[in-house]
Amino acid sequence: MQLYSLTVDKLLDHAAKWCSQQQVVTASSGHISYAELRQRSNLLSGALAAVGLSAGDRVGTLAWNTQHHLEMYFGTMGMGLVCHTLNPRLTPAHLTAMLCEAEDRAIAVAADLMPLWAQMAPHCPTVEHVIVLDTPPSLNTAPDPKRRYWNYEALLHSHGKASEWGGFDENTPAGLCYTSGTTGHPKGVLYTHRSNYLHTLRSLQADAVALTSADSILLAVPMFHANAWAFPFAAPAVGAKLVLPGRALDGAHLTKLIREEGITIAAGVHTVWQGVLDYLDAEGGDVPTLERVLIGGSSCPEVVLQRMQDRLKARVQTSWGMTELSPLGTISPARGKGPAIASGRPPLGLDLKLTDANGTSLPQQRNVMGHLKVKGASVVDRYFRSDVDVLDKEGYFDTGDLASIDDQGNLSICGRSKDLIKSGGEWINPAEIEAVIGGLPGVGLVAVIGKMDLKWGERPLLVVEPQKNRTLDEETLLRALRGKVADWWIPDQVIQVKEMPLAPTGKIDKIRLRADYAKA
């Protein structure tokens, strides 16, 4: 058989040839066809080569979901550079640490993030070129003796040149994404062309994301977060219309895009869609073209799931994944009449197993809780710059999650092993408490953390954010737990907050909560 390297440039090549007039839409700058996107991305490769970048160099991106950012994806990867996405919601110190470890030679920065880059710039000696995105060609940048600044469109105009894409081994690095900058030293995951290509095929399976050329996708997952759930690859792979919202993810903006662009599939964390729900409730109207909503990140309370299905009249697909998995792990089916089932099943290409705390596989894998481990072609082997594999002797990666698997193979995440609370020598699982409280009327967001206790070591503390214009009775909250969890699991204290702290990925920031409330 032919040797056909699995490189991601082939995904955009396919879209440009067979779905050439299908559109990529950016809220702030309009429409472009896949054929035009391919041409511009390829010219960008030539421009990057002209300024001295070569295969293997890392190029950082500090940007939103826009056409320019998407062109940076393919323009860098197509010529063998590594696209290093950076999360602008992190602190300058964390971003600088990631950039310096990666030794990025260039960085592409959204114009409205230039003040953030200005804080980082003095501490990033490896960066030789700064490319300013999402601006007209006339924008001028301040001189900097240490590096060259380029306006994106001007760079494309002056140095853009048709380039040959691919031609390298499919195991060549393609992308770099760091898992977190809030839990200690950030860990980089280096994706290869092969892993991204195979992950794309995995996500496109009929029981998974199941995109087709008839779909119009609203990508509310940031492109700096875990490959944007691989939609920048999956959409061109099938020639689906791709709609990029830019920076704004408020309910009014997203609703407008859904209506104007005929969105059939929308993807993002559930807190984003709560904004859409609130807007629809306040302003009225519907989103009749919307067929499915894909959610991930932190677990979604059942009351919110039901509200989404009732108000949006769309199927809600729950999922679970990690940066280390590229990121899709499991997903509930794209079709069916019933509600989403837990976090769904793994598509072909990923295997799961449950172990005890010592890493020994549980003899019974169904209907028991264990430590979740995964294995597959798009799963991390070792972290960037590390010499040590993070796999067990059977080649499985420890996710750090506690989980169970039902008789049909559906995965339920039961919490993070690091979040378990040890009280009087016994373990309390915060996720079970959060699931009960999160389903109560008037509760917006909920988190349970361990608070230091002189007698018991730790005791659970319940933190809740009420829904807008709602008040919560603390005794009612605690009473709802009786009979649902063991009595000694019931928190000793309830704290109501006006606004729950969120981590840069949109999940509840338990690190911040512990810092604020965990001391005795």
Instruction: Mark whether 363 and 485 lie in a shared domain.
Output: no
- The whole-number average pLDDT for the span 26-51 is 96
* 291 lies in some domain: no
Query: Would you state the pLDDT for residue 181?
Result: 46
CATH number at residue 358: 2.30.38.10
Integer angstrom CA distances of residue 490 from 395, 403, 493: 39, 21, 9
Of 125, 158, 192, the residue that ends a domain is 192
Query: Would you state the pLDDT for residue 455?
Result: 82
Of 366, 393, 416, the residue that ends a domain is 416
Instruction: Mark whether 471 and 412 lie in a shared domain.
Output: no
Instruction: Mark whether 356 and 389 lie in a shared domain.
Output: yes
The verdict on whether 422 is a catalytic residue reads yes
Query: Would you state the pLDDT for residue 180?
Result: 66
Catalytic pick from 17, 422, 426, 476? 422
- The whole-number average pLDDT for the span 358-377 is 96
- Please choose, from the candidates 409, 400, 238, 415, the residue with its C-alpha nearest in 3D space to the C-alpha of residue 325: 400
Confidence band for 183, pLDDT divided at 50, 70 and 90: very low
Query: Would you state the pLDDT for residue 296?
Result: 87
The total number of residues written for the chain in this structure: 520
Instruction: Mark whether 391 and 438 lie in a shared domain.
Output: no
Q: Which range has the worst mean pLDDT, 123-132, 309-318, 510-519?
A: 510-519
- pLDDT over 90 at 33, yes or no: yes
Instruction: Mark whether 13 and 158 lie in a shared domain.
Output: yes
Give the tens place of pLDDT for each residue, 42-82: 999 999 999 999 999 999 999 999 999 999 999 999 999 99
With b for 16 or more beta-carbon neighbours within 10 A and e for fewer, the 212-247 pattern comes to eeebbbbbbbbbbbbbbbbbbbbbbbbbbbbbbbbb
CB 143 within 8 A of CB 167: no
- pLDDT over 90 at 233, yes or no: yes
Instruction: Mark whether 163 and 183 lie in a shared domain.
Output: yes
Q: Which one has a higher pLDDT value, 223 or 470? A: 223
Integer angstrom CA distances of residue 25 from 67, 245, 495: 7, 8, 43
Q: Which one has a higher pLDDT value, 322 or 182? A: 322
Query: Would you state the pLDDT for residue 298?
Result: 66
Q: Which one has a higher pLDDT value, 302 or 127? A: 127
Give the tens place of pLDDT for each residue, 382-405: 999 999 999 999 999 999 888 999
* 269 lies in some domain: no
- Please choose, from the candidates 276, 342, 339, the residue with its C-alpha nearest in 3D space to the C-alpha of residue 312: 276
The verdict on whether 161 is a catalytic residue reads no
The verdict on whether 91 is a catalytic residue reads no
* 385 lies in some domain: yes
Give the tens place of pLDDT for each residue, 128-168: 999 999 987 666 666 678 899 999 999 999 999 999 999 99
- Please choose, from the candidates 511, 426, 372, 448, the residue with its C-alpha nearest in 3D space to the C-alpha of residue 91: 511
Distance CA 449, CA 429 (A): 10
pTM of this prediction exceeds 0.75: yes
Query: What are residue 149's phi and psi, to 5 degrees?
Result: -105, 140
CB 176 within 8 A of CB 192: no
Distance CA 318, CA 339 (A): 10
Instruction: Mark whether 49 and 148 lie in a shared domain.
Output: yes
- The whole-number average pLDDT for the span 29-33 is 93
- pLDDT over 70 at 186, yes or no: yes
Q: Which range has the worst mean pLDDT, 91-100, 130-139, 278-287, 367-376?
A: 130-139
**Positive or negative CA dihedral for 193, 42, 57, 117?**
negative
The verdict on whether 289 is a catalytic residue reads no
- pLDDT over 80 at 177, yes or no: yes
Eight-class DSSP state of 346: P
Query: Would you state the pLDDT for residue 182?
Result: 43
Residue position matching structure tokens 């991305």: 41
Give the tens place of pLDDT for each residue, 189-225: 999 999 999 999 999 999 999 999 999 999 999 999 8
Confidence band for 417, pLDDT divided at 50, 70 and 90: confident
Domain that holds residue 99: 9-192
CATH number at residue 463: 3.30.300.30
Query: Would you state the pLDDT for residue 139?
Result: 60
Query: Would you state the pLDDT for residue 502?
Result: 87
- pLDDT over 70 at 337, yes or no: yes
Of 380, 396, 416, the residue that ends a domain is 416
Give the tens place of pLDDT for each residue, 83-100: 999 999 888 988 999 999
Instruction: Mark whether 412 and 424 lie in a shared domain.
Output: no
Instruction: Mark whether 460 and 387 lie in a shared domain.
Output: no
Residue position matching structure tokens 């079709």: 335
- Please choose, from the candidates 16, 12, 186, 30, the residue with its C-alpha nearest in 3D space to the C-alpha of residue 95: 186
Instruction: Mark whether 162 and 76 lie in a shared domain.
Output: yes
Q: Which one has a higher pLDDT value, 30 or 41? A: 41
Confidence band for 302, pLDDT divided at 50, 70 and 90: confident
Q: Whole-number mean pLDDT of the chain?
A: 93
Distance CA 22, CA 250 (A): 26
* 283 lies in some domain: no
Distance CA 368, CA 380 (A): 26
- The whole-number average pLDDT for the span 104-116 is 96
The domain total for the chain is 3
* 165 lies in some domain: yes
Query: What are residue 282's phi and psi, to 5 degrees?
Result: -80, -40
Distance CA 492, CA 463 (A): 11
Instruction: Mark whether 87 and 181 lie in a shared domain.
Output: yes
* 243 lies in some domain: no
* 327 lies in some domain: no
Catalytic pick from 126, 141, 179, 182? 179
Three-class secondary structure of residue 459 per DSSP: strand
Strands (E), 406-472: 411-416, 421-423, 426-428, 443-453, 457-466
- Please choose, from the candidates 322, 250, 241, 331, the residue with its C-alpha nearest in 3D space to the C-alpha of residue 289: 241
- pLDDT over 80 at 112, yes or no: yes
* 77 lies in some domain: yes
- pLDDT over 60 at 184, yes or no: no
Query: Would you state the pLDDT for residue 28?
Result: 81
Three-class secondary structure of residue 64 per DSSP: coil
Instruction: Mark whether 395 and 469 lie in a shared domain.
Output: no
Joined tokens for residue 66: 């826009």
CB 330 within 8 A of CB 343: yes
- pLDDT over 90 at 304, yes or no: no
